[in-house]
Structure 1
Amino acid sequence: MVQRSMNRNQLHDQNLKLVLQQIFNNHPTSRIEISHQLNLNKSTVSSLYNTLMADGYLSELGLGDASTAGGRKPTLVAINQSYGYTLTFDLGYRHLHALATNLNGHIWKYDRIDTKGQSIHDMIDQMTQYIAQLQTDDTTAHGLLGICFSIHGIVDQNRVQTSPFIDMDGIDLEEVFHNAYHVPVVLENEANLSAIYERDFNGARQLNSTVTISIHRGIGAGVILRRDLFRGEHGDAGEIGQTVLTVTTDTTGHVQPIRAEDIGSEDAIIRAVEAKKGQDNLDRTDIARLYQQHDPDLTLILQRATIAISSLIYNTMRTLDPDAFFLNSPLIEEVPDLLDQIRAGYQQLAHNDVTIDLTTNARLATVLGGCSVITHRALGLDGYELRFERPETPANA
């Protein structure tokens, strides 16, 4: 099929987005540098620059150094962080994570709010109160620009399809928050957001295809194929925790599948330890303590879990053939030896050197991935690659 050429307005809009992308990715920069990078003439770049400046997206920082050939010093420019802010909520089982970021992706405010045992209605009340406080403290020109929700479940067509840990009670988050604040609202699976975080904030931006495996109460994966997020036809891609590793049969001959997250998830590990020890209400810190004590029961449970995760990585490698794997797991952060065990288990199966690394800033990975998604939307740059600076971890993270 022959592709039709763009008309003048379409070309102008594309060039405007390319200039905005260049400024976001190369701050500070200058009009002459943008002209070189995009191979556009100086007058065209100046016109586009003036449009973005008039709209308030840019902030001039002063004069840079003149080129070696001499001439006038260029005016340096960056994204105007005082234009407005975006907000991401991660609806976790025990906590609500909230991250507010300026339009340039820099963190303004981060909070973790205890929500264990709360209904979705209670959580909406908490989020509404949080936004009200942000609006009181806000000094930007345009205020709230968009909201992203990180969902521990399946999302399709911007709707929560399944949410195993939180009863959504028929709530349409997009409708509720768009009607309240009149800004774009995006819902995305938390593992997908972790994968976007790796692509846009970390070294994975140099890789073509990656899989980020989130190991929390369950196990899910975010899949980046050729730089794009792969969600599947119904949002189910990446539900690898449901992968059947083996099956057993009960006394009636009924088949009982054993899934990867039945063995390898953080929740499964904690439940297995609780059952073995006859204790309740253990958490990640207790697991790390028992590991340091070389507890024999925990050693066997973790051995099974790392084998399950190694097998999952191997099966995914054979299916998708990515450049690298990243593990988003606060438990592995607490017990780094587990990463070495997973790598060793994979080597026994695959005999190749695929990269298996731990996600840095695991506690912020999903909300930072959400920052990328909603910043793209706020800037009108969906489908354009944006590079974000990796932030310092807030003290309260």
Structure 2
Amino acid sequence: MVQRSMNRNQLHDQNLRLVLQQIFNNHPTSRIEISHQLHLNKSTVSSLYNTLMAEGYLTELGLGEASTAGGRKPTLIEINRNYGYTLTFDLGYRHLHALVTGIDGHVRQYNRIKSQGKSIHEMVDQINQYIGQVQHDDTTSHGLLGICFSIHGIVNDNQVKTSPFIEMDGVDLEQVFGTAYQVPVILENEANLAAIYERDFNGARHLNSAVTISIHSGIGAGIILHRDLFRGEHGDAGEIGRSVASIQMDGAGNPHPVHAEDVSSEDAVIRQVEERKGLKELNRQAIVKLYQAGDPETTEILRSFTTAIAGLIYNTMRTLDPDAFYLNSPLVEELPALLASIKATYQQLAANDLSIAITPNARLATVLGGCSLITHRVLELDGYELNFTQPTEEQTEND
């Protein structure tokens, strides 16, 4: 590979991004600390700092403590949280999840809006109404800066290829919202966003590779390899829910595959319990109560569920060999005994102690991953590692 040196402008732009990254990841900080961390001379850092300050990205907090060697006290700085905000929407099967975050990555508002049974056109109207409300209450200097959409389906080149739970009906979300609000619009698969959440907010911060398996209405995997999201050539990487669990032959000798998510997704578990017990319109909370009450049919079905998930983890481990696995599953989060069963079965299959952990606060994983993705884009820091802070319960209690 041919190495090419950067010209002066390219070097300036790179250093500008490095300074912005340092301030984002180490707030509050100071120019002298940035100089030490980046090994840049003070005059260079001051020039870059002045550029970022003039553009409104930074705010000064006052004087910090002087060093042990004495000298002037440094001026502390951080990202200007009043510069603007981003929005992330998770187009879920039952709810539209909406997250407002400042450009500093801190959560400002979270809402869950009922959307089950609504068409994509009605959901677009809901989103526009929500944006209008946020804009009405906004007091930042630059307002809305970017939008991310979490899609329960396959996304490639910022377009929805397939969406099994929502009929897109030709709606181009990037075109619709990019035109309406004149901001960057990013579409990403929800399992991929859950993996980004683990990398930038949570347990995978210090890992080189990790796989997050999302278990909801379907099953998908978000794959982080060498710290980068792996999407595959056509956006299909991680569609492990569509892997073949078994093949049934009909009377004419034609094969009919049974996919993993047909038997081991959350919806599949609910459907099986309904069929076995002759019940209708059960939900996750009902399954949790039946299991906690010791219901034998539910216990048997969930035992099969944990065995199937352990098998999926084993097969994915053999293909990708990651450092760790994370399960983004509200059902497993509410029933920790299921995680123990999954771990035990996996260890019997693999004979190793690979880390398998639950994603905490699973309901927010995809929208927080979207926050990271759109914040990187707005700050023009794609490819730069940014560390985000977990939101407090107060910030996300509006549910």
Structure 1 residues 192-251: Cα deviation after superposition (integer angstroms, max 9, x where no partner): 000000000012110000000000000000000010000000000000011112223233
Residue 278 of structure 1, CA deviation:
1.4
Residue 261 of structure 2 corresponds to 261
What amino acid does structure 2 have at the position aligned with 1:267?
D
Residue 294 of structure 2 corresponds to 294
Residue 395 of structure 1 corresponds to 397
> What's the C-alpha RMSD, in Å, of the aligned pairs?
0.8
Distance 2:333 2:170 in 1: 35
2:37 is equivalent to residue 37 of structure 1: yes
Structure 1 residues 314-370: Cα deviation after superposition (integer angstroms, max 9, x where no partner): 000000000000000011112111101100110110010000000011000000000
What amino acid does structure 2 have at the position aligned with 1:135?
Q
2:116 is equivalent to residue 116 of structure 1: yes
Residue 161 of structure 2 corresponds to 161
Q: Percent identity?
A: 72
The answer for unaligned runs of 5 or more in structure 2 is none
Structure 1 residues 37-72: Cα deviation after superposition (integer angstroms, max 9, x where no partner): 000000000000000001000011111111111101
Distance 2:150 2:91 in 1: 6
User: Secondary structure, in 3 states, of the residue corresponding to 2:59?
Assistant: strand
User: Secondary structure, in 3 states, of the residue corresponding to 2:327?
Assistant: strand
Residue 241 of structure 2 corresponds to 241
The answer for unaligned runs of 5 or more in structure 1 is none
Residue 103 of structure 1 corresponds to 103
User: Secondary structure, in 3 states, of the residue corresponding to 1:208?
Assistant: coil
Distance 1:208 1:390 in 2: 21
Residue 20 of structure 1, CA deviation:
0.1
For normalisation by structure 2, the TM-score amounts to 0.98
Residue 16 of structure 1 corresponds to 16
Residue 151 of structure 1, CA deviation:
0.2
Distance 1:272 1:4 in 2: 60
User: Secondary structure, in 3 states, of the residue corresponding to 1:169?
Assistant: coil
Task: Give the paired residue count.
Answer: 397
Q: Within 5 Å, give how 1:17-96 maps onto structure 2.
A: 17-96=17-96
Residue 324 of structure 2 corresponds to 324
Distance 1:115 1:130 in 2: 13
8 Å Cα contact 2:223/2:238 also seen in 1:
yes
Q: Within 5 Å, give how 1:344-363 maps onto structure 2.
A: 344-363=344-363
Distance 1:27 1:146 in 2: 22
User: Secondary structure, in 3 states, of the residue corresponding to 2:29?
Assistant: coil
Residue 264 of structure 1, CA deviation:
1.1
Q: Within 5 Å, give how 1:146-157 maps onto structure 2.
A: 146-157=146-157
Runs of 4+ in 1 over 3 A off after TM superposition: none
Structure 1 residues 71-118: Cα deviation after superposition (integer angstroms, max 9, x where no partner): 011111000000000000000011000000001111111100001100
Structure 1 residues 155-193: Cα deviation after superposition (integer angstroms, max 9, x where no partner): 000000000000000100000000000000000000000
User: Secondary structure, in 3 states, of the residue corresponding to 1:165?
Assistant: coil
Distance 2:21 2:83 in 1: 16
Distance 1:79 1:145 in 2: 15
Residue 185 of structure 1 corresponds to 185
Structure 1 residues 126-181: Cα deviation after superposition (integer angstroms, max 9, x where no partner): 00000000010000000000000000000000000000000000100000000000
For normalisation by structure 1, the TM-score amounts to 0.99
Distance 1:305 1:203 in 2: 24
User: Secondary structure, in 3 states, of the residue corresponding to 2:246?
Assistant: strand
